Structure 1
Amino acid sequence: MSTAADRSDRRISPVFLGIAAVAAVAGWAVWTDTGYPYGLAVFVFVTAAWVVSLCLHEYAHARTALHGGDTSVAAKGYLTLDPLRYTHALLSIVLPVLFVIVGGFGLPGGAVFIERGRIRGRWRHSLVSAAGPLTNVLFALVCTAPFWLHALDGVPREFRYALAFLALLQVTAAILNLLPVPGLDGYGVIEPWLSYRIRRRVEPFAQFGLLAVFGLLWIPEVNGVFFGAVHGLLEALGVDRLGAECGRAAYQFWENWNEEYPVCATAP
């Protein structure tokens, strides 16, 4: 029988509901074009929706860990979807949002602390690590559903752009976080299958993995190959490159959207 304390450990946080409400209101502003500055509305909508996806990403890790044997995640508040309960606010929220604002791509950071010693079995450890990126995959499918279902009739062009860019963030987050780089979930998937000696040698580099990936993406050649693959996946889901790039341009409205991307003002 669950106690009141047990239920409070799993009750959805008002902080998360507030962020979701901000995303909904900003999305409505983008959809209806109510006179709210378009670029600013897209910025608020995409940023808030991105934070919602970060919370769901970390919730998936925690929920899978709970079923794997780590009951401590409930007491830590990880099941409430409250981003303020995460272990590292900088890695959990600040850096991922900064990556979106500056680099235009999504990359969740490390946040929840899983007590791995409570989890038995290599497959369970791998599933705990894979749960987060798989949530981004699911979020991407939801964002792109109107495109691959051909249900865009009546959807304003500006909202399609914003949704396309949000989908791009989810695809980039899933791909990047599944890389077998120490500190990212992709490495967490394969780590249980590595020898103790290899894990000990790799462990000191885990804290630099996230920043290393961010740095590599600033290399034009690497950036071009990576985003070429991302847009290829998006096109397979019905999202054309122009729509996603127009969404990115609108999000980074401070870079003079109409001047830099005049085609966006007349694109279908």
Structure 2
Amino acid sequence: MTIATTRRADERRISPVFLGILAVMAVTGWATWTGYAEQPGTAVFLFVTSAWIVSLCLHEYAHARTALHGGDLTVGAKGYLTLNPLKYTHALLSIVLPVLFVILGGIGLPGGAVFIERGRIHGRWKHSLISAAGPLTNVLFAIVCTAPFWLHALDGVPADFRYALAFLALLQVTAAILNFLPVPGLDGYGVIEPWLSYGVKRQVEPFAPFGLMFVFALLWVPSLNGAFFDGVDAVLRGLGVSDFDTAAGWSLYRFW
């Protein structure tokens, strides 16, 4: 009994890797706020990147934690509850590629997902909630990042920190919108999949591995890209974040 209890505790203990990323976010956030760094863009880059990785970890954790309560007791043994990004089934898709997309294009493209043993989970609503839990974490992260804007509490907030928060909020909004698209392979499709007929799911299943690439390819189409970011900007403006704030944050982030 003691061994089993100890094992469960280890499976849920926060990983030192995640704590290290969190420490980088805290230190560089402080440097951005105080203007301590000689090159403010460097501090903003490290702050936003580490905060983005933290949000990715929380995104995957939300999937795993919801699956645990839904009936998949194997997520703990897989290390998903430790918030360690190195434990994900597709660390490349879940962490590396999303970070590269941020650095190269300033877009919060969703990554891969933790492996959930769906056969252990019964009930369509549970399956839908597991898929929705990840992008809902991005929505919550966006609300937190934009809180100073929509609460009109920006007095005393340094400009660089304000711009960094605005750009980080943009990443969260783009990630939430893209993840909720009903495209095979993305969480949005996972939300509706339990409600589809068996025949439809069989027809769609072969396309699931290419869903992310399909979305990425569509974003290269200028008209679609413009319409997408117009929608993102509209959401951010509704949260009190101006186009100038996000543009300034993007400019600081690309300090090179």
Same fold? TM cut 0.5: yes
Shift of 1:20: 0.6
Question: In the aligned structure 1, how far is the partner of 2:130 from the partner of 2:38?
Answer: 41
The counterpart of 1:218, out of the listed 198, 220, 225, is 220
Question: In the aligned structure 1, how far is the partner of 2:181 from the partner of 2:146?
Answer: 23
Where does structure 2 lack aligned partners over 5 or more consecutive residues?
A: none
Contact 1:143 1:163 in 2 (8 A): yes
Tell me, yes or no, if structure 1 residue 60 matches structure 2 residue 62: yes
What does 1:84-233 align with in structure 2 at a 5 Å threshold?
A: 84-233=86-235
**What is the one-letter code of the residue matched to 2:23?**
A
Contact 1:29 1:36 in 2 (8 A): no
What is the RMSD of the two structures over their aligned residues, measured on CA atoms? 1.0
Shift of 1:39: 1.2
Question: In the aligned structure 2, how far is the partner of 1:111 from the partner of 1:130?
Answer: 12
* 1:17-68 Cα distance to aligned partner (Å, 9 max, x none): 1001001111111111113311111111100000000000000000000010
Question: In the aligned structure 2, how far is the partner of 1:25 from the partner of 1:181?
Answer: 38
* 1:165-190 Cα distance to aligned partner (Å, 9 max, x none): 00000000000000000110000000
Question: In the aligned structure 2, how far is the partner of 1:115 from the partner of 1:136?
Answer: 23
What TM-score do the two structures reach when normalised by structure 2? 0.97
Contact 1:16 1:82 in 2 (8 A): yes
- Aligned to 2:57, the other structure's residue is in SS state helix
1:29 aligns to what? 31
Question: In the aligned structure 2, how far is the partner of 1:219 from the partner of 1:31?
Answer: 37
Question: In the aligned structure 1, how far is the partner of 2:188 from the partner of 2:203?
Answer: 17
Contact 1:12 1:82 in 2 (8 A): yes
**What is the one-letter code of the residue matched to 2:93?**
L
Question: In the aligned structure 2, how far is the partner of 1:73 from the partner of 1:13?
Answer: 15
What is the number of equivalent residue pairs in this alignment? 254
Shift of 1:212: 1.2
**What is the one-letter code of the residue matched to 1:218?**
W
Contact 1:92 1:108 in 2 (8 A): yes
Where does structure 1 lack aligned partners over 5 or more consecutive residues?
A: 255-268
Contact 2:37 2:43 in 1 (8 A): no
**What is the one-letter code of the residue matched to 2:73?**
T
Contact 1:165 1:244 in 2 (8 A): yes
Question: In the aligned structure 2, how far is the partner of 1:11 from the partner of 1:135?
Answer: 20
Question: In the aligned structure 2, how far is the partner of 1:177 from the partner of 1:16?
Answer: 23
Question: In the aligned structure 1, how far is the partner of 2:69 from the partner of 2:58?
Answer: 16
- Aligned to 2:65, the other structure's residue is in SS state helix
- Aligned to 2:75, the other structure's residue is in SS state helix
* 1:238-264 Cα distance to aligned partner (Å, 9 max, x none): 10111011101111122xxxxxxxxxx
**What is the one-letter code of the residue matched to 2:247?**
E
What TM-score do the two structures reach when normalised by structure 1? 0.93
**What is the one-letter code of the residue matched to 2:236?**
L
Change (3 A) 1:94 1:35: closer
Contact 2:184 2:204 in 1 (8 A): yes
Contact 1:126 1:192 in 2 (8 A): yes
Question: In the aligned structure 2, how far is the partner of 1:133 from the partner of 1:7?
Answer: 27
**What is the one-letter code of the residue matched to 1:56?**
L
